[in-house]
Every structure is written in C-alpha cells, then in structure tokens.
Amino acid sequence: MTFKEFLIIFSMIIFGSILDDFVSSKIENFYLHTNFAYLVFSYWVFACPEKIGVLFSIMFGLIIDFISGSAIGFHAFMYLLFAYIIHIYAFTFRLFSYLQLAVFFGGSATFITTINYLIEHTSNYSYANIFIALVFHIII
Amino acid sequence: MAIGTPIYTPKLPYLFAMMFALGILFLDQKYDYFAPIKNTKTYLFAETKTLTNKLLISSNNFFDGFKSSQKLAFEIDILKENIDLLSIENNFIRQNIDSRNISFDGKPSKIIEFDTNQYFCCSNHRLIVSTDSNYIHGYVINEAGLIGQIYNQTEKYVEVILLSDKRHNIPLMHNQETFFCIGKGMGKPNKIQCEIDNNLVNKNLIGSLMQTSGFGGIFDRGINVGYVIDTELKSDLLVITIELIASPLVTDKVYILTKNDF
C-alpha cells in the first residue's frame, strides 16, 4: 500500500469515527449507536483485500480504540476478526447481491456494538437499541 | 471501482494478532495498564478543544473589533460568567444553610469536555474541567447541586467522575439519619442505587431525601444528593433507586470543593 492510499483510507476511517460522534444520539427512550468507522474499514477490506492485511487491521483498530475511548484492544480484535472473515470469503461475497452484502456488513457492525455493550456497558444493554442499530446499519 | 483480486489468506498471522489484541484487552480491563495513554489522550483532546475555543473567540472579537460596541460585548460576557458563578454559590449556600458547617471556598471552573454519547448510551460518565490548582480529593458542584468527584488530574485538566458512573460509590444517609448506605452509580443518567437491610426500614421511602453522610473523606456531610423514586425487595435487601437532584447537562460552570476538616 502506498502512503497516499494509506492516508486516504486512514482519513476516511477517522471521518467515520467523527461521524459516529455526531450521528449517535438519544431518540426518546432509545439510543442510536452507529458504527461508521467499522463500515468504512470493512468496505476497504472488501474493495482492496490485498492492500489491508493483519498489520493495518490491528493498527486501525488500536487507533479507533484510542480515539473512541473504548477498551484498548477491543476494536483491534474485532477489526482483525472481520478482516479475516472478509478475506477468506472474498470470492463468496462477489456472488452476493447488494441486499445480502448490506445484511452482512450491517449485521457485523451491529455485532461489534453488541459485544461492546456486553463487555463494557452491561447495565445499558438493550435489545431495542441493538435492533435500531441493526436496521440503521443495513440501510446505510 | 474494480474490486481487487483476493490472495491467499494465511491463518497464523491473524491468529497471533487476535491473541495479541485479546492480551491488550485483558491488560486494559483487568489492570488498567494503559491508563497513562488514556490520560495523555484526555489531555490532548482537552487542550485541542481549549485552543479551538480560543481561536473562535479571537476571530469573533476580531470581526467585532470593527464595531464600537466590542468593549461592551466583552464586558457583558464577563458579567454573564460572574452571574452564573454567583448563582452556583448562592444555591449551594441556601441548600446547606440550616445546619451544615460547610464553608464555601470552592474554585470556579468550567467543563471543557463532556462526552454526552457515553452519558446517554453507556456507563462511562466522565467529564473534563479546567483548573489552576492541584486536587487530589475534591468534589464538583454546579448550580443545581452535587454532580461528581475528582478522579484524575493531568496538568491543568481534571477528570471528574459523575455520581451516576458505574464505577462510582458515594456514602449516603437518609436526611433524618435513620439509615446509611453506599450509593452506587447505575450507568444510567441521573440515577444511583443503594442497598439497605430491609429490617432497618419500617416506612415507605419513596420521596425521601438522601444526603451525603461525610464518610469516606471526600464529600462534606449533609449535601443533598437526590430523592428516592423506587424501591425493590431482593431477598433481605431493599434496593432503592435515587434520582439525582443535579444534572451535569444544566450548565458548563462548576465549582470544585474539598472536604472541610474540623
């Protein structure tokens, strides 16, 4: 990966993280928890699987951990896991329709949000919030 | 955009990297090993925000400089700040005037950063305030009342842990001193919980006022904390939910106080 490509991907992931801060909000008694940073990262892994490997996955994950204030290592692990899944099923994903891709990436973004709640914020876990996040991520 | 050709994906590097990430996660959650890095991040973010605010104010003043009322506008801003601070002092003194021996020698401060996303969604309820003194033990009030205590200090910024944070505990007492308990943050905005022995309580507690008991060496005795809104019986324990009087969302002007020693 050239420096220019790295800069583009890195700045888009950072922009996604900033967008998370702005879009995530309380709606009546529910909370919309977005995960744009992961969606941007997973898009680039899907689009350029040969460019983003182990090193960049763990690096982007640690940077997002640092910026978002979540547990250090959490996003690094999740980004590595889904980068690996996207790599090994890269050929299968090419046969997927757009809806199937949306369901997979939306579902994986919601999965990360769910595990984050289970590890760090157990008392705030809410099925309603998870469902809202799932619908939002699939639509996005 | 053309999708790149997937190449062979080796398993072992991913496995080792995932175990490495899990190791980092374990160290962070169990031993808080990366606290210095998190403190550095807090300091950098707070400093960036302060500089950005200063630049914005300077640019506003620059454009206002062409108007003759620039001086007046500046004086009005200072007066507004002073009114907010006096309001905090007045409310606090009024609240505690009838018996407490709390002398009001707090330091005025301002909230620099408050992650409201974490406040509404999750259980980390923290905010950053600026200060020009060193605080090891102190508590923070705003115009509505008690909101939290000092958790950590980095240079001129102090991290305040709110009463509703999941990791926060505050010694409480019933306002008629009929029982004492430890108020634990629930991770939910404006709510804390207390567990008391059901045998010690012989009346309905809903609506009762809970105050700080003065134990623990951080908070002065007798500061109003909140009202009981719900009770639940769990075996021999009565779990009471308390709604806090003060919300950190009301204003960005706060006072930092330390416990009076008599």
Interface predicted TM-score (ipTM): 0.85
DSSP annotation of A6: H
Helix and strand numbers, DSSP H then E, in chain B: 4, 12
Mean pLDDT of A84-91: 87
Mean pLDDT of B21-29: 90
User: Which residue in A24, A54, A62 is closest to B117 by CB distance?
Assistant: A24
Tell me what pLDDT residue A81 has.
93
- The tens digit of pLDDT for each residue in B181-191 reads 999 998 888 99
Could A57 and B29 be called an inter-chain contact, meaning their C-beta atoms sit closer than 8 Å? no
DSSP annotation of B200: G
- Residue B202 binned pLDDT confidence (cut-offs 50, 70, 90): low
* Percentage of the residues of chain B whose pLDDT score is greater than 90: 16
Could A124 and B9 be called an inter-chain contact, meaning their C-beta atoms sit closer than 8 Å? no
User: Which residue in B14, B23, B166 is closest to A54 by CB distance?
Assistant: B14
Alpha-helical runs (H) found in A69-97 = 74-88, 90-93
Name the minimum distance, in Å, from the CA of B1 to any CA of chain A.
8
Could A87 and B6 be called an inter-chain contact, meaning their C-beta atoms sit closer than 8 Å? yes
Higher pLDDT: A20 or B5? It is A20
Mean pLDDT of B64-90: 71
Is residue B221 helix, strand or coil? coil
The reply to whether B4 touches chain A by the CB within 8 Å rule is yes
Name the minimum distance, in Å, from the CA of B76 to any CA of chain A.
31
Question: Closest chain A residue to B4 measured between Cα atoms?
Answer: A48
- The tens digit of pLDDT for each residue in A27-72 reads 767 778 888 999 999 999 988 888 888 899 999 999 999 888 888 8
- Residue B98 binned pLDDT confidence (cut-offs 50, 70, 90): very low
Could B25 and A72 be called an inter-chain contact, meaning their C-beta atoms sit closer than 8 Å? yes
Mean pLDDT of B133-155: 82
Could B121 and A84 be called an inter-chain contact, meaning their C-beta atoms sit closer than 8 Å? no
Strand locations in chain A (E) = 25-27, 30-32
The 3-state DSSP composition of chain B as helix, strand, coil percent (nearest 5) reads 35, 30, 35
Does residue B92 have a pLDDT over 70? no
List CB contacts (< 8 A) between B9 and chain A. Answer: 84, 87-88
DSSP B41-87: HHHHHHHHHHHHHHHHHHHHHHHHTTSTTHHHHHHHHHHHHHHHHHH
Does residue B3 have a pLDDT over 60? no
User: Which residue in A69, A91, A121 is closest to B187 by CB distance?
Assistant: A121
Q: B159 near B151, Cβ under 8 Å?
A: yes
Tell me what pLDDT residue B61 has.
67
Tell me what pLDDT residue B223 has.
86
Cα radius of gyration (chain B): 23
- Residue B105 binned pLDDT confidence (cut-offs 50, 70, 90): low
